[in-house]
């Protein structure tokens, strides 16, 4: 018999807030974290906006620890510490053997790699930092979390581009559902806003133009005048727990994680597939034991690139049919940017907060809708006092990987 899975802890480091209360307030209020890039090299870039995290690592770590961890690892541990504390979990030695960590990360220790190349090729250094490998490796964040909490079950890093953390949460869900473990700390982290990172993304020609009047209005998902995505960074972690155990210890339960769909387009490396996205949504709905009209809110992938917004709209129509125009859909990337490997986890938390607050966050900067993107995208102003019992989160990635999560409100 498959077991039910509860979400009992949330943690976040993001451009819209570094704790759940601040993040929830800002997202529901439509406050953007997109702004002019703060780094000195911004003058060398053609695109000068991003959704950066205002983060002081000394708020979480002692100075010696900071020097041994890349920014991406710092984000992950900070978000994990919030989630673990929020869950009120306390595991004994035996229970820790049945608790694991799954983290999604796309780019790894980008700052460390860039520093390495700067030392070698610009300054002709004959030595580099001795911990370079340990700081740069993609699995460092998951390992640091495992070590911090003594979690001795499976510890894996998933790297599926923009779907990484949604896949991490979905696969962690299956580990508990199928009886392999009882607790998972899962989510994603990304910190790739470096000079090389920006220049690489510039070359793809998918980045948004800066809004002439207000940089915070630059990301415009589903708009007729959308010009591309805005890069972001951050981390989000959730604690997943076997339901009976969570109920027994009277844990704070945000929702039940009910369904997960994972597919591959097997088509084009950058252009999405309506069929692949639709199958992922259908799989998640089926696994949750729901009908499409049971979904009360969809957090869209919604990158504000031309093809993504158009094809995701069509994929939602394919799955939801007549109900597609009735279900609220929003892209919160309009506020927190595209956080790559962390995006799915951040947006899953947004969806859980929609259940908690009984409110739907807006898609900001949606002043001139694209006629071909004609769903209810909750333009500019969020909705309070609405019924949100079941939510869906979409994460669709370069490479054609699609991941969809569905969560439902716990009955009183």
Q: Please state, in angstroms and rounded to a whole number, the distance separating the CA atoms of residues 259 and 368.
A: 34
Report yes or no: 391 and 351 within 8 Å, Cβ to Cβ: yes
- Tracing tokens 């209005």 back to the chain, one arrives at 217
How many of the other CB atoms lie within 10 Å of CB of 92? 7
pLDDT above 80: residue 412 = no
Average model confidence (pLDDT) across the chain: 97
Listed in order, strand segments (DSSP E) in 145-199 are 155-158, 183-190
CATH no., domain 1-399 = 3.40.47.10
pLDDT tens digits, 352-403: 999 999 999 999 999 999 999 999 999 999 999 999 999 999 999 999 999 9
Cα–Cα distance, 59 to 67 (Å, whole number): 14
Find all residues with CB under 8 Å of 355, minimum gap 6, and list them.
254, 255, 388, 389, 391, 407, 408, 409
Q: Which two tokens stand for residue 72?
A: 């991406």
pLDDT at site 92: 98
The two most distant CA atoms of the chain are separated, in Å, by: 65
Q: Which two tokens stand for residue 196?
A: 């090389």
Residues 13-21, mean pLDDT to the nearest whole number:
98
Distance, CA of 360 to chain centre:
17
Domain positions in the chain are 1-399
Place of tokens 């070359």: 203
pLDDT at residue 349, rounded to an integer: 99
Catalytic residues: 162, 301, 338
Residue range 153-189, pLDDT digits in tens: 999 999 999 999 999 999 999 999 999 999 999 999 9
CA distance 232 to 36: 12
Question: pLDDT tens digit string along 37-47?
Answer: 988 899 999 99
Q: What angle do CA 158, 117, 194 make, to 5 degrees?
A: 60
pLDDT digits (tens, 9 = 90+) for 244-267: 999 999 999 999 999 999 999 999
Over residues 97-149, the pLDDT tens digits come to 999 999 999 999 999 999 999 999 999 999 999 999 999 999 999 999 999 99
Residues 216-234 pLDDT 10s: 999 999 999 999 999 999 9
pLDDT of 411 strictly over 90? no
């Amino acid at each position: 018999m498959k077991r039910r899975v509860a979400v009992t802890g949330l943690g976040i480091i993001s451009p819209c807030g570094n704790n759940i209360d601040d993040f929830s307030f800002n997202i529901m209020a439509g406050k953007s974290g997109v702004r002019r890039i703060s780094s000195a090299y911004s003058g060398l870039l053609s695109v000068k906006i991003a959704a950066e995290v205002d983060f002081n690592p000394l708020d979480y770590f002692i100075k010696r620890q900071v020097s041994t961890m890349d920014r991406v690892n710092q984000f992950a541990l900070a978000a994990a510490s919030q989630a673990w504390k929020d869950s009120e979990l306390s595991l004994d030695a035996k229970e820790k053997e049945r608790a694991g960590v799954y983290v999604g990360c796309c780019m790894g220790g980008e700052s460390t790699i860039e520093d390495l190349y700067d030392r070698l090729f610009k300054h002709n250094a004959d030595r580099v930092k001795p911990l370079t490998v340990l700081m740069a490796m993609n699995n460092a964040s998951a390992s640091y979390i495992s070590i911090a909490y003594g979690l001795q079950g499976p510890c894996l890093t998933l790297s599926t581009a923009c779907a990484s953390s949604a896949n991490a949460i979905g696969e962690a869900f299956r580990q508990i559902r199928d009886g392999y473990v009882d607790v998972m700390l899962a989510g994603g982290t990304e910190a790739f806003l470096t000079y090389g990172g920006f220049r690489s993304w510039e070359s793809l020609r998918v980045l948004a133009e800066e809004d002439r009047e207000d940089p915070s209005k630059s990301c415009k998902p589903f708009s007729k005048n959308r010009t591309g995505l805005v890069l972001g960074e951050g981390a989000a972690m959730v604690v997943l727990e076997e339901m009976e155990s969570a109920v027994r210890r009277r844990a704070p339960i945000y929702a039940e994680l009910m369904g997960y769909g994972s597919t591959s387009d097997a088509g084009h490396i950058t252009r999405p597939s309506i069929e692949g996205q639709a199958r992922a949504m259908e799989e998640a709905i089926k696994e949750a034991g729901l009908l499409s009209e049971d979904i009360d809110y969809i957090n869209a992938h919604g990158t504000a690139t031309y093809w993504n917004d158009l094809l995701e709209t069509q994929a939602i129509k394919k799955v939801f049919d007549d109900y597609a125009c009735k279900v609220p859909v929003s892209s919160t990337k309009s506020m927190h940017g595209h956080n790559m490997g962390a995006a799915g986890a951040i947006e899953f938390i947004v969806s859980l907060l929609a259940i908690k607050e009984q409110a739907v966050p807006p898609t900001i900067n949606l002043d001139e809708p694209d006629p071909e993107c004609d769903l209810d995208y909750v333009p500019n102003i969020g909705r309070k006092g609405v019924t949100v019992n079941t939510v869906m989160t979409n994460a669709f990635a370069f490479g054609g990987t699609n991941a969809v999560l569905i969560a439902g409100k716990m009955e009183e």
